[in-house]
Amino acid sequence: MIVYTKLWETLRKKGISQYKLIHQYGISTGQLDRLRKNENVNTYTLNALCTILNCDLSEIATYIPEISENQ
């Protein structure tokens, strides 16, 4: 599972609000909602966020292995 908790920390550190992402950089509210809910987002959005924030993907997303019932 990919989680985006680091995104919100990075936004705060860089001083960029969600309002600014939407209105200045053109990130859709739907994409932000999916990020909030740790749902699927496309690589275009992740690339745009890395460009806007001048950061690596690791500063936005974290991979957490899912534990299946068979393990």
35, exposed or middle or buried, with CB in 10 Å at 0-12, 13-18, 19+? Answer: buried
Q: How far apart are CA 52 and CA 39, in angstroms?
A: 21
- Give the pLDDT of residue 67: 83
Q: How far apart are CA 42 and CA 19, in angstroms?
A: 20
pLDDT 10s digits, 5-63: 999 999 999 999 999 999 999 999 999 999 999 999 999 999 999 999 999 999 999 99
- Give the pLDDT of residue 37: 97
CA proximity to 41, closest of 56, 30, 57, 54: 30
Place of tokens 């001048």: 54
